[in-house]
Amino acid sequence: MRPIRIFISSVQNEFTEERAALREYLRSDPLFRRFYDVFLFEDVPAIDRRADEVYLQEVERCDIYVGLFGKEYGNEDEKGYSPTHLEFDLATRLGKHRLIFVKGADDGGKASKMQALIKAAGGQVVRRRFVSAAELIAAMYGSLVQYLDEHELIRCAPFDASFCRNATMDDLDEEKIHTFLRRARRARGFPLPEESTTMEVLTHLNLFDKERPSNAAVLLFGRQPQRFLISSEIKCAHFHGVEVTKPIPFYRIYKGTVFDLVDQAVDFVLSKINLAVGTRTQSVQAPVAYEMPPEVIREAIVNAVAHRDYTSNGSVQVMLFADRLEVWNPGTLSPPLTLAKLRKPHGSVPWNPLLAEPLYLTKYIERMGTGTGDMIKRCRDVGLAEPKFALTDGFVVTIRRKPELAFKAVGGITGEVTGEVTGEVTGEVQRLLKVLVGEMKRTDIQEALALRHENYFREAYLIPALTAGMIEMTIPDKPTSSKQKYRVTEKGKRFVEENECRGDE
């Protein structure tokens, strides 16, 4: 079959970055390069023809017209029409499949004629808004997959874009969707307003398949994602030695949305590795440092969750040994990525684009395509061996442990706290006691420990500390009060003092 021709129209100077990103993505993606041929005016060599003749002829030849509308209207002809306007009108008259993407959360500040064009287009087709090249690519991805599906050129959509069997809208949690909306607006300037409906958010993120929630929608916002996608859980294990042995000292299986999975798994690792807590000579809050940068741990785990093969029966595994951390996922690298390219600057080729985009919008993925480079740099900066990446029966990231790095980071102070148990006091409770200064809110204690998942913090840290009588509430009669704080009890203070004395011996 002949390639499906895509014509991308815009005021070129305004969308240089976005056009280049689209071209690179569409020509490198294994699925799209098989079906699509993209035309950009800047690819045309110097020829003895008028520019307007070239681009209007390309509109006639194309199967899909893509309009990028921004602030500028463009140079006008003698009748007052810009090239973008003429292209859109011609595509409309010829009945071309039209995809319209508008940059910005609203149309304020746009040229008056561009506002009129956007309004006219909105009366004919569904427009999509975007604020970055990454968001435009994600939106384009969903639209082009849908086109292939509707024209029966592919039997089914990619996993994350396919509908989740037996799931309905009632299986999605509206509160989780609106929590995402607030975080995405704050983190990346997500264009939809906070009062947007659930349907508007899901539509914007391309999380529907013929009005049914997609697999990505369930993984991101499901009430019980593992009810439909059993293997999407994360298995975490802690071994005291350097090999997998039974019985396993600590073993947990975490369930929930991809956000929950990442937070719980990261907090599990942080609760088991060495932590140094310094003195408060420089500030009220004591300095805290882990033996491995939490950002590196988080990047390894979020990549495993975002880029794994969800059609596999395997689950992501996070295994902490005495000398290393291993994060394994049932997946491989998307072409054209290789193990060697991961160690150098490379483009973003997400295995599950619709799943990766919301993670990016909430800063779980800090920058598209730079995660592995950031991991390597952060490890180098603290004197830790570079992470190792390997392909075995899945994709494995290995991060070496070096406990003494935690103590160097807080000025050589040896306030070590590990994940072991001292009598009735777990390592997690010891950590909490070390960072709790005066009266602190739960969120402040979590932040001091670099922990994100509220339920994990409550179960592993807060409740055991309260049960052991090491801390107490400042408002015990109203345990759920928004003004609730916590402080160390006399028993907790004695425990801290006794352990500090033992550390000085």
Domains of the chain: 4-152 (3.40.50.450), 161-228 (no CATH), 232-405 (3.30.565.60), 422-504 (1.10.10.10)
Instruction: State the distance between the two ends of the chain, measured CA to CA, in whole angstroms.
Output: 79
Query: Cα 348 to chain center, whole Å?
Result: 13
Residue-wise pLDDT for 470-483, tens only, equals 999 999 999 999 99
Q: What does 408-419 look like in DSSP terms, one character per residue?
A: HHTTS---EE-S
419 pLDDT more than 50: no
Amino acid making up residue 143: S
Highest mean pLDDT among 151-155, 245-249, 411-415, 463-467: 463-467
Q: Which of 61-70, 141-150, 228-237, 323-332 comes out lowest in average pLDDT? A: 141-150
Do 67 and 73 contact (CB within 8 A), yes or no? no
Cα(138)–Cα(365) distance, integer angstroms:
14
- Output the pLDDT for position 286: 63
Dihedral over alpha carbons 465, 467, 473, 475 (to 10 degrees): 160
- Contact status, residue 384 vs residue 377, Cβ threshold 8 Å: no
pLDDT at 87 > cutoff 90: yes
Distance CA 146, CA 164 (A): 16
Whether the predicted pLDDT of 418 surpasses 60 = no
Mean pLDDT of 159-186: 93
* Whether residue 253 has pLDDT greater than 80: yes
pLDDT at 405 over 70: no
Take residue 497 and report the two structure tokens written for it.
């003092």
pLDDT band at 408 (very low <50, low <70, confident <90, very high): low
pLDDT at 404: 75
Q: Which residues pair with 276 in a beta bridge?
A: 289, 416
Question: Which residue from 105, 55, 102, 62 is spatially nearest to 82, judged by alpha carbons?
Answer: 55
- Cβ atoms of 125 and 91 within 8 Å: the answer is no
Residue 248 predicted with pLDDT over 50 = yes
3-state secondary structure 344-388: CCCCCCCCCHHHHHHHHHCCCCCCCCCHHHHHHHHHHHCCCCCCE
3 state SS of 329: strand
Contacts for 333 with CB less than 8 Å, ≥ 6 apart: 339, 342, 349, 391, 395
pLDDT at 416 over 50: no
Q: What distance in Å separates the CA atoms of residue 325 and residue 354, rounded to the nearest whole number?
A: 28
Rg (CA), the chain: 27
99-108, 474-483, 496-505, range with the lowest pLDDT: 496-505
Estimate the share of the chain in helix, then strand, then coil, as percent rounded to the nearest 5.
45, 15, 40
pLDDT in tens, 365-381: 876 667 888 899 999 99
Most confident of 22-26, 94-98, 150-154, 371-375: 94-98
Share of the chain above pLDDT 70, in %: 89
Asked if the model's pLDDT at residue 439 lies above 80, the reply is: yes
Q: Are 427 and 433 in contact (CB under 8 A)?
A: no
For 394, residues 6+ apart whose C-beta sits below 8 A from its C-beta are 308, 314, 328, 329, 330, 331, 332
Q: Which amino acid is at 25?
A: Y
SS3 248: coil
Residue 470 half-sphere exposure, CB side, CA atoms within 13 Å? 25
Percentage above 90 pLDDT, the chain:
59
Q: Which amino acid is at 105?
A: A
